Amino acid sequence: MAGDPLTLHRPPAVTPLVDPFGRTIDYLRVSVTDRCDFRCLYCMAEDMTFLPKAEVLSLEEIDRLASAFVRRGTRKLRLTGGEPLVRRGIMDLVRSLSRHLDSGALDELTMTTNGSQLARFAGELKAAGVRRINVSLDTLDEAKFAHVTRWGRLPQVMEGIAAAAAAGLHVKINMVALAGINEDEIGDMLSWTAAAGHDLVLIETMPLGEVAEDRVDRYLPLSRVRRELERRLTLIDLPDSTGGPARYVRIAETGQRLGFITPLTHNFCESCNRVRLTVTGMLYMCLGQDDSADLRAVIRATSDEAALDAAMVEAIGRKPKGHDFVIDRRAARPALARHMSVTGG
Ligand code: SAM
Ligand code: SF4
């Protein structure tokens, strides 16, 4: 006899990953490469040494690991890097992972990119089910852009962003606030994003990895940016809906949404729902702590998915309550030795 059709089509029950502080971990960020075609001042040194190929997860290994998280309730996957769109075969991975969108297991498959390759890939991303992307853009001034990214060229990125919008991707612009570089441009960036229909998120610099720049000089507290914006505009706080580190306001005058990511001036850890996988298969339970779990060792040792699952559960059991970033004038070293391009932003 036929069963209840609803029961028959219900996906298998998922046991979510819950950390010791009761936070459900349902967001995985995956760094798919440590390489990049830019050398942003705050992110990389100019003469970066990249990982040997044997250390880097294959696309199949990334798929296996990400899919294991999806089985345990991950609803959102973000591909990042390095620059994800310079990884050879990246679209094969995106298309493969999109099966979890089709099955309904995943709500969102998305990407953070510098935009340099978007003109080429925007259409394919949209066709694979990607709906929104984050594009990092710190300035609209060509000379400053070349200075900040060292190797990047603004027109190429603007073309990429236009291609993304034309393909129907919703674009969120990530702008790292840099004292003495782009602090006078936040108004222009707001006007441009409002006119183009993009969201804007401002990010404070984080002390990750050795770079040539002095971060103390570049650190621009967003509390100050906000105060300055409030002299001209009415910012209305929006309730936190993402569970993420961004706090959003609506600008009454334009209706535009503006986000602030303030790891240093606002502690967002209590609502943290995410973990990060590096391209070497290390799972970082917190962007601001050094503890990690070597999932590459597990998947290269066995094809047993239960062993992988056990390793994931053990790792989530070590997720710390929070981070302790400080940009310290006295400390010559960054708070964490690894670069953002290793863990993924
Ligand atoms: N290459 C891609 C991009 O630039 O969007 C993805 C990787 S990048 C590491 C991700 C995000 O991290 C970017 O928005 C970048 O601006 C940000 N980022 C890199 N280093 C940072 C730092 N030290 N502090 C704050 N944000 C940083
Ligand atoms: Fe590359 Fe992104 Fe880092 Fe800039 S921020 S160097 S684009 S990985």
pLDDT single digits (tens) 126-162: 999 999 999 999 999 999 999 999 999 999 999 999 9
Tell which atom from ligand 1 comes closest to the C-alpha of 204.
25
Contact 335, 215 (CB under 8 A): no
pLDDT greater at residue 219 or residue 176 = 176
In this predicted structure, the answer to whether residue 28 has a pLDDT above a threshold of 50 is yes
Residue 329: band (very low, low, confident or very high) from pLDDT cuts 50, 70, 90: very low
Residues 6+ apart with CB under 8 A from 134: 110, 111, 112, 113, 171, 172, 173, 174, 201
Ligand 1 in reach of 171 Cβ (< 6 A): no
> Distance from the CA of 38 to the center of ligand 2, in angstroms?
6
Atom index in ligand 2 nearest the CA of residue 83 equals 8
Whether residue 203 has its Cβ less than 6 Å from ligand 2: no
Ligand in nearest proximity to the CA of 29? 1
Band of residue 335 on the pLDDT scale cut at 50, 70, 90: low
Domain 25-343 sits in CATH 1.10.3720.10: no
In the prediction, which pLDDT does 211 show?
A: 58
Q: How far is the CA of 259 from the centre of ligand 2 (A)?
A: 20
pLDDT of the residue at 12: 62
160 in contact with ligand 1, CB cutoff 6 A: no
Question: How far is residue 324 from each of residues 60, 77, 269, 272, 343, measured CA to CA in Å?
Answer: 34, 25, 10, 14, 17
Q: Does 10 score more than 60 pLDDT?
A: no
Evaluate if residue 225 carries a pLDDT over 70.
yes
| pLDDT beyond 60 at 229 | yes
Q: In the block, which residue shows the tokens 């503006």?
A: 258
Q: pTM to 2 decimals?
A: 0.90
Q: Whose CA is nearest to atom 17 of ligand 1?
A: 345
Atom of ligand 2 nearest to the CA of 341: 8
Classify 132 as helix, strand or coil. strand
Decide if pLDDT at 215 tops 90: no
Burial class of residue 213 (count of CB atoms within 10 Å of its CB; 0-12, 13-18, 19+):
middle
Average pLDDT over every residue of 163-187? 95
- The mean of the pLDDT values for the chain is 89
Strands 257-261 and 108-113: unpaired
User: pLDDT tens-digit profile of 232-260?
Assistant: 999 999 986 666 778 899 999 988 999 99
Give 280's DSSP letter.
T
Enumerate residues 6+ apart whose C-beta is below 8 A from 286.
Answer: 269, 272, 319, 320, 322, 323
Q: Which of 111, 112, 149, 173 to mutate to test the pocket of ligand 1 (most atoms within 8 A of CB)?
A: 112
Task: Give the model's confidence band at 81: pLDDT under 50 very low, under 70 low, under 90 confident, else very high.
Answer: very high
Q: Which helix (H) or strand (E) holds 227?
A: helix 222-232
Percent over 90 (pLDDT), the chain:
72
Q: Do the beta carbons of residue 172 and residue 209 sit within 8 Å?
A: no
Query: Is 169 touching ligand 2 by the criterion CB < 6 Å?
Result: no
Regarding the beta carbon of 82 and ligand 2, being less than 6 Å apart is answered yes
